[in-house]
Structure formats: C-alpha cells, structure tokens
Amino acid sequence: SQQGEEDPQALSIQEGENATMNCSYKTSINNLQWYRQNSGRGLVHLILIRSNEREKHSGRLRVTLDTSKKSSSLLITASRAADTASYFCATDENNAGNMLTFGGGTRLMVKP
C-alpha cells in the first residue's frame, strides 16, 4: 500500500520557473527520500532527509520536512526542460523493515 500522497499529481511550468511538489505520509519515519523517474525508466535518488532534519539543499533542490504535519516538500528552482520527469517521495518507516513506501508521484513537465 502507498504511504503517502503527492500533490499535485501533475504540474506544468515554463523553463526558469520554480516547481514545488508536496508529499504527505501517515506513520512515523526514519527518513524521507525523493526520487526522480524518467518515463518508463528506473528511479534515481535525489535527496534524503532524516526525521531530525527540517531542511536540506542539494544544488537546485530544496527539501523540507515537517514531522508534526507528516509532510515534506521538494522545490526545484530555475527549472529546465531536462527536469521533466515524475518525482516520488518515499518513506523509510519505523519498524517496517528494510523497505521504502512510495507516494503516487508528481508528473512534472517543464516547457522550453
């Protein structure tokens, strides 16, 4: 079953704009990760944020985590056409063993 829900399900923006995707989850977690998937391909890890962290940056990516609201957001700044992909959050839940629970994903389209 899916742990989280992502919002929006689809997002279309112009190159140069910022893209924000949100993820909500239901249980306590060890960490939350964001992955990217180009159409029909494997997933690529973007960033991991631990449950005791509130914000993390990696290049043009900024991730926030609010454990009290059980939510996270991924911000991509100055988007490029090459950022067009699906983005998934994944939670590493407490007591769930060694598995990640993925959200439904956000399909991002960046128009040149």
Partner 1 sequence: KAGVTQTPRYLIKTRGQQVTLSCSPISGHRSVSWYQQTPGQGLQFLFEYFSETQRNKGNFPGRFSGRQFSNSRSEMNVSTLELGDSALYLCASRKQGGNTGELFFGEGSRLTVL
Q: Which stretch binds partner 1 (CB under 8 A): 20-28, 31-39, 52-60, 63-71?
A: 31-39
Binders of partner 1 among residues 44 to 83 (CB under 8 A) are 44-45, 48, 50
d(CA 5, CA 7): 7
- The DSSP call for residue 38 is -
Asked if 91 is part of the footprint of partner 1 (rule: CB under 8 A), the reply reads no
Question: Dihedral of the CA atoms 13, 48, 102, 15 (nearest 10)?
Answer: 10
| 8 A C-beta contact, residue 70 and residue 26 | yes
Asked if 25 is part of the footprint of partner 1 (rule: CB under 8 A), the reply reads no
| Least Cβ distance, residue 9 to partner 1 (angstroms) | 11
17 closest CA partner among 81, 77, 62? 77
Query: Applying CB under 8 A, which of residues 18, 28, 41, 58 lies at the interface with partner 1?
Result: 41
Interface with partner 1 (CB under 8 A): 1-2, 30-31, 33, 35, 40-45, 48, 50, 88, 90, 92, 96-105
